[in-house]
Amino acid sequence: MSSLYIHIPFCLSKCPYCSFVSWPGMDGLYQRYVAALLREAAGLRPDASQLPLSTLFLGGGTPSLLAAGEVAAIVAGCRKLFGFSGQAEISIEANPKTIDPAKLTLLRKSGINRLSIGVQSFNDSELQSLGRPYSAEDAATTVYQARAAGFDNISLDLMYGLPGQDHHSWQQSLEQALSLAPDHLSLYGLTVEQGTPFHRQQDQGLLDLPDEEEIAAMDQITAALCREGGLAHYEISNYGRPGYECRHNINYWQNGPYLALGAGAFGCMQGRRQQRVSDPQRYCALIESGQSVIVEEECLEREASFRETVIMGLRMHCGVSREGLRRRYTMDVDTCYGETLIRLLDQGLLEMDAGHLRLTARGRIFANQVMAELV
């Protein structure tokens, strides 16, 4: 697996829950930013084992704010510099109301073959509370238009545990999503991040979030409806039809190496993790003057990297490969975790065979607590 992530940090407005590197009101910077991306790409020196690319992911922000020609230039530049494997997965994140039939057709012609649409909810009042500038009808229309443009690999992002939401409204939203026959769903529980408007509202007692009982009911509804809809639960927050699992993200969950470009982007190659400057204007200026955009770099020690790989791998329903760990680190989970592992196995939170260590159904309910013990 060889992967490249490109961060497009632009958005129409900052959502009240968002802690990602994203900047509204910078549409005048788009062309300059694309040129800087391609210049940074030309300076990357991946080893031969990382080429050609198996996956390319344009994330954000809202990458679909770029003109189709700008996206096409990015894809073409990556094809020229790195090459793509014959079955490469080339993804872009998009929001409703930022793409139309003409742009969708051009994106598909550019080589983009996977569309990840950030819907978040099919309930208009929930969309308003999330600061999303479109309606549920707009979101459904985007899916229809994407199919008409030739996209046969469409993922929808939804969020649950939203302010004022109950399990009934979540069921209606999820049923609407499934009625559109997506190939993949990413279903994320709301996390209130520090520094966001939602966090300030929570501190002031103004954020009406569902309680644990409601969240548990939402989880049960999710499992049942996705199963009925033919989507397999292959990762804690992700469901896909067979063969439509997100290969780019699977590489993350397996803690594999990946290249990265763009403001705020993280990359990890040869065990070295690098973070780029987050301000897009500063990023462009540094690239244009031939300076480094790396602002933070670390190389994990072997045991720390081992533990991180276990934690990431446990997000997958198949678990983490013990043989893969032994080949990569010459270590095994039983010798690393000792009594902690035995206790978690005895509590029925983990299960282990000769091939894999994985969370049990009960362990997935308490996944955060289990993983905290294995860090």
Q: According to the model, what pLDDT value does residue 47 have?
A: 75
Distance CA 200, CA 187 (A): 24
Q: According to the model, what pLDDT value does residue 269 have?
A: 85
- Mean pLDDT rounded to a whole number for the chain: 95
Helix (H, G, I), strand (E, B) or coil at 238: strand
- The answer to whether 117 touches 142, Cβ cutoff 8 Å, is yes
Predicted model pTM = 0.95
Residues 178-196 have a mean pLDDT of: 95
Transcribe 85-135 into DSSP letters. EEEEEEEEEE-TTS--HHHHHHHHHHT--EEEEEEE-S-HHHHHHTT-SS-
Which residues contact residue 206 at a Cβ distance below 8 angstroms, ignoring those fewer than 6 apart? none
Residues 271-291 have a mean pLDDT of: 96
Q: According to the model, what pLDDT value does residue 1 have?
A: 62
Q: What is the pLDDT of residues 116-147, one digit of tens each?
A: 999 999 999 999 999 999 999 999 999 999 99
Map out the domains of the chain with their CATH numbers: 3-253 (3.20.20.70), 302-374 (1.10.10.920)
Q: What is the pLDDT of residues 82-91, one digit of tens each?
A: 999 999 999 9
66 compared with 212, residue with greater pLDDT: 66
pLDDT band at 271 (very low <50, low <70, confident <90, very high): confident
Q: Is residue 16 reached through a cis peptide bond, with omega within 30 degrees of 0 on the bond before it?
A: no
Helix (H, G, I), strand (E, B) or coil at 195: coil
Residues 64-76 have a mean pLDDT of: 98
